[in-house]
Amino acid sequence: MDLLLKDILSKIKMPPEELETVRGFLLEKRIKKNEFLFRNGEVCNYDSFILSGALKAYYINPVSGKEEILFFAIESWWATDLDSFANRTPSIYNIQAVDEVLLVQIHHQSLQELLQKIPKMERYFRLILQGYLSSIQRRIILMNSTTAEERYLDFADRYPKIIQKVPQYLIASYLGITPEFLSRIRARK
C-alpha cells in the first residue's frame, strides 16, 4: 500500500492526515496466477494499483478467435478498463494475472466519495492519465512508423522486467505479430 501513497506524494502535495483519509478508501488484494481482475462483458468496478506482479489485458479477436494483448501492467501502474470503470459499461477486454499479483484497489463508488472529500485527488488522477496518454501515443507512433523488429527491440529495452516474466507468444501478440515471426526476429540478431 505504501508504494501507492508514495506515488501520490510524488505527484501532489498532501498532509499526513489527508493521506490517512485516502488510505481509508483503499483495499489490498492478492490474486493468484491466471485469476481475473475482470472479464469481457462485466462492468469493471475497481481501479487497481499494482504493488507487485504482472497483469495482462487482452481481448478476443472476433475474426481469428485468438487472444490479443492490449497491454501489460506491472508494479506502480494502475490497471482497469477506464471506459467501463468510468461510464459503467461492459468491458470489451479481460485483465488477468500473469503471476501472483498484489494490488491496491478502489471501488468506483469509493472513488467518487474520495474525489468529493479530497478534491486534490482529481489532480493526481489527471496526472496519471496524462502520463498514460503520452505513452500510448508513443506506441501509436511506433506501430505506424517502424518494423516489427524495431518494435521488439524498443519494447525489450523499455520493459526488461516484462520480457523476463511473460512468455514470448504474449509479447508477440502485444507487438501485433505472430509468435513464429517474433522467433525469427530473435534468431537473426
Site residues, a copy of itself (CB under 8 A):
59, 61, 63, 68, 70, 82-83, 86, 92, 115, 119-120, 122-123, 125-126, 129-130, 132-134, 136-137, 139-141, 143-145, 176
Minimum gap (Å) between residue 141 Cβ and a copy of itself: 7
Whether the CB-CB separation of 41 and 93 falls below 8 Å is answered with no
For residue 134, the partner it binds in DNA, a copy of itself, none, with Cβ less than 5 to 8 A by kind, is a copy of itself
Spatial separation of the C-alpha atoms in residues 151 and 19, rounded to whole Å: 40
CA 36 to chain CA centroid, nearest Å: 13
- Identify the DSSP state of 188: T
Per-position x/- string for 40-69, each x denoting binding to DNA as judged by CB under 7 A, each - no binding: ------------------------x-----
Our finding on whether 169 is near DNA (CB under 7 A) is: yes
State the DSSP code for 64. Answer: T
From 18-26, 35-43, 125-133, 176-184, give the range in contact with DNA by CB under 7 A: 176-184
Residue 110 exposed, middle or buried by CB count within 10 Å (0-12, 13-18, 19+)? middle
Task: Give residue 65's region: left, alpha or beta (phi > 0; psi -120 to 50).
Answer: left
Distance CA 110, CA 29 (A): 16
Q: Decide which of a copy of itself, DNA, none touches 74; Cβ closer than 5 to 8 Å per partner kind.
A: none
Please give the residues from 123 up to 162 whose contact with DNA meets the rule CB under 7 A: 147-149
Out of DNA, a copy of itself, none, what residue 65 binds, judged by CB under 5 to 8 A for its kind, is none
Between 13 and 189, CB nearer to DNA: 189
